[in-house]
């Protein structure tokens, strides 16, 4: 399979399919606003691409709309998908077993303990574990359902992207 665009990767996962690899999309709008002073989707997509991230802009709960070739935007209209954002303390493997064939799962990484307080190695371990727990069969977007704080080190975002590329390839 050839490499998919971020948009193709995200839409495939949201439809419950198996993209070329697990999409990596931490919720970074607060981080971008703090560091770059911008929240428009086109600038977010460019900055996410600079980190090697797939961008799912999470403004709506369960309705997703495709806007460009670079990202999927969620304003509450357009394409409808069954997606579940994973907030708080969940056991990812159990959620995948119970709901993973019926809805796409988005999240699985803790924005505070993994990204803000963790090291890049801790981020890599968390990414690998989340992929092991939820990626089988497709329909999974690795990320944080809650926004990452502005204080999060850029190295943590890069570590997540690199680990997703290393461990999230479907074979």
| 30 assigned to some structural domain | yes
β-pair type (71-74, 65-66): antiparallel
Q: pTM for this one?
A: 0.81
How many whole angstroms separate alpha carbon 74 and alpha carbon 56? 8
CA nearest 17: which of 6, 28, 25, 9? Answer: 9
| 111 assigned to some structural domain | yes
Q: What's the pLDDT tens digit per position in 37-81?
A: 776 767 777 777 788 888 765 544 433 333 334 445 444 444 445
What local confidence, expressed as pLDDT, does residue 77 receive?
40
pLDDT for 89 beyond 80: no
| 171 assigned to some structural domain | no
| 40 assigned to some structural domain | yes
Q: Is 17 exposed, middle or buried (0-12, 13-18, 19+ CB in 10 A)?
A: middle
DSSP result, 20-73: SB--B----HHHHHHHHS---HHHHHHHHHHTT--EEEE-SSSB-EE-SSSEEE
As for how many domains the chain has, the answer is 1
Q: Could you tell me the residue range of the domain that residue 12 belongs to?
A: 6-166
- Stretch 116-136: mean pLDDT, rounded? 94
| 1 assigned to some structural domain | no
């Amino acid at each position: 399979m050839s490499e998919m665009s971020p948009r193709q990767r995200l839409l495939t996962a949201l439809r419950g399919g198996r993209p070329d690899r697990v999409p990596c999309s931490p919720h970074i709008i607060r981080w971008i606003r703090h560091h770059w002073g911008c929240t428009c989707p086109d600038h977010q997509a460019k900055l996410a691409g600079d980190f090697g991230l797939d961008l799912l802009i999470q403004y709506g709960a369960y309705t997703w709309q495709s806007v460009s070739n670079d990202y999927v935007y969620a304003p509450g209209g357009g394409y409808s998908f069954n997606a579940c954002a994973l907030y708080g303390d969940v056991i990812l493997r159990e959620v995948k077993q119970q709901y993973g064939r019926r809805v796409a799962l988005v999240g699985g990484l803790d924005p505070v303990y993994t990204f803000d307080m963790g090291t890049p190695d801790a981020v890599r371990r968390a990414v690998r574990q989340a992929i092991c727990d939820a990626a089988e069969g497709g329909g999974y977007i690795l990320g944080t359902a809650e926004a990452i704080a502005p204080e999060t080190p850029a190295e943590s975002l890069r570590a997540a992207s690199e680990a997703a590329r290393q461990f999230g390839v479907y074979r």
